[in-house]
Amino acid sequence: MRFFAKLYGTPSEMTNHVLNSSWCDKSKSNCLDAITQYAEFKKISYVRPHFRAYDNEEMFVPNPDMVKRFVYRIGLFQLRL
C-alpha cells in the first residue's frame, strides 16, 4: 500500500509516475505489479510495461554465513599453471 501513497490518476498515469521516479528498480517493479492488480480489480484495461530491475541502487550486503562459505570455497580452489 505504501506504493500508492503518492500515486493518483489512471493506471497508465500511475505507471508514468513510477517509471519517472527516483525509486530503485526493485521498488518500481513491485509497484508496477501492484498497479496491474489494481487495474484487474477495477476491471480497467491495462498492459504492464516490460520492465526488469537493473542497476539497483540498493547495496547488497551478504550475511556472515555467506561470507564464510565464499572464503571456504576460495580455499578449495587450486590454481593450475
Exposed/middle/buried for residue 62 (C-beta within 10 Å: 0-12, 13-18, 19+): exposed
* Residue 66 belongs to a domain: no
Q: What is the pLDDT of residue 64?
A: 83
Q: What is the pLDDT of residue 61?
A: 65
| DSSP secondary structure string for all residues of 15-37 | HHHHHTS---HHHHHHHHHHHHH
* Residue 64 belongs to a domain: no
Q: What is the pLDDT of residues 46-81, one digit of tens each?
A: 998 887 766 555 566 678 887 888 787 777 666 665
**Domain boundaries, position 42:** 2-55
Q: How many separate domains does the chain show?
A: 1
* Residue 29 belongs to a domain: yes
* Residue 38 belongs to a domain: yes
* Residue 62 belongs to a domain: no
* Residue 72 belongs to a domain: no
Tell me: pLDDT of 29 over 70: yes
- The pTM of the full predicted model, rounded to 2 decimals, is 0.60
Tell me: pLDDT of 33 over 80: yes
